[in-house]
Amino acid sequence: MAATKAYAAQSATTPLAPWNLDRREPTPHDVEIDILYCGVCHSDLHTVRNEWGGTVYPAVPGHEIVGRVTKVGNHVKRFKAGDLAAVGCMVDSCRECANCKEGLEQYCLNGMVGTYNGKDKYSGGVTYGGYSKQIVVTEDFVLNISDKQPLEGVAPLLCAGITTYSPLRHWNVGKGQKVGILGLGGLGHMGVKLAASFGAEVTMLSHSPSKEADAKRLGAHNFVLTKDETQVKKVNGYFDFILDTVSAEHDYNMYLNMLATSGTMVCVGAPPTPAQIPAFNLIMGRRSLGGSLIGGIPETQEMLDYCAENNIVSDVEVIDIKYINEAYERMLKGDVKYRFVIDMATL
């Protein structure tokens, strides 16, 4: 066991603060990584404040991890000391169920192991995430990254990037399609970049007029202010696909009505309360409402390779880890463009 510096929450009501944890010595199939940057996801905040329930304390969040390999087990084939590497939202799964065998580890029928607050198969305790100096992960869940992109911008691709890439690919979004992206935050800004790069006509749907210039800078072709009834009416029945990235309460029906016949709206945001959707809002236009998590390991690697080839990274604000509690408060207000990333050299 190796002592590792980290930042942890000791309860749902205490701020994150320095804490030491033990990382296992690498097994024959493990990769040990010195963490260089870790993105800050809204899921981190939900977990440390126990807003989804089930948090085990102390909790060390962080699942948008990029770093450099320091040590590998003697059966590791794809990495060696000195290589760049990344870890996303999962560090293990059963590997035996039908979904795992298809590369859909995120939907493991026996439960994937989250990078933090998951059941640690090795220690029997819980997993600790990327707000730490080091992490040890089985090779099958470690990803290759390019050395040609700014690593701080790559880090959020491990969650925000794959969370938007996966549904866009699954529903075959591309040229000739009209796509709406609902919400311009950490997820939404990646949705805009990716959908535009796939050749779709992209419209940003936002209640904030101040977001228009940024949306267009990121690649959106159009902007609809969702508080303006006239603008909303113009896009009723318009979109082939809507990616809903909003985690605050909102009326799904308003956006379902923007779908063309046979259109699909996919939720990647998770509002805190159930939505009420009359069946006729789906039936009358053969519309679909779906959901999507992250991607599996093969698709996450595909996404990282695609972003490297097309020079796509997240827009980030790099912070000192001592600023993390203030960053959480700003994140709650939407006061970040568009993802905080911790420089782990500050730990």
- Residue 234 sits in a domain whose CATH number is 3.40.50.720
CB 313 within 8 A of CB 154: yes
Q: Same structural domain for residues 150 and 169?
A: no
Q: Same structural domain for residues 71 and 146?
A: yes
> Any idea what the CATH number is for the domain that residue 60 is in?
3.90.180.10
Q: Same structural domain for residues 10 and 136?
A: yes
Is 306 inside any structural domain?
no
pLDDT of residue 202: 98
Q: Same structural domain for residues 169 and 285?
A: yes
CB 298 within 8 A of CB 274: no
Is 182 inside any structural domain?
yes
Q: Same structural domain for residues 125 and 55?
A: yes
**Phi/psi of residue 228, each to 5°?**
-100, 105
Question: Which amino acid, one-letter code, is at 341?
Answer: V
Q: Same structural domain for residues 69 and 118?
A: yes
List Cβ neighbours of 229 (8 Å cut-off, separation of 6 or more): none
CB 170 within 8 A of CB 302: no
Q: Same structural domain for residues 280 and 335?
A: no
CB 185 within 8 A of CB 245: yes
Q: Which residue has the tokens 């016949």?
A: 261
Domains of the chain: total? 2
pTM exceeding 0.85: yes
- pLDDT tens, the chain, 347 aa long: 789 999 999 999 999 999 999 999 999 999 999 999 999 999 999 999 999 999 999 999 999 999 999 999 999 999 999 999 999 999 999 999 999 999 999 999 999 999 999 999 998 999 999 999 999 999 999 999 999 999 999 999 999 999 999 999 999 999 999 999 999 999 999 999 999 999 999 999 999 999 999 999 999 999 999 999 999 999 999 999 999 999 889 999 999 999 999 999 999 998 888 999 999 999 999 999 999 999 999 999 999 999 999 999 999 999 999 999 999 999 999 899 999 999 999 99
Is 318 inside any structural domain?
yes
CA dist 36 and 214 (Å) reads 28
CA dist 247 and 60 (Å) reads 22
Is 296 inside any structural domain?
no
Is 42 inside any structural domain?
yes
Largest CA distance in the chain: 64
- End-to-end CA gap in the chain: 20
CA dist 69 and 121 (Å) reads 22
CA dist 153 and 134 (Å) reads 19
Domain with 103 in it: 2-159+314-346
For the chain, what percentages of helix, strand and coil (3-state, to nearest 5) are there?
A: 30, 30, 45
Q: Same structural domain for residues 133 and 165?
A: no
Q: Same structural domain for residues 178 and 262?
A: yes
Is 143 inside any structural domain?
yes
CA dist 83 and 178 (Å) reads 40
Per-residue CA distances from 61 to 126, 131, 177, 339, 340 (Å): 11, 6, 37, 15, 14
- Name the strand (E) or helix (H) holding 193: helix 186-197
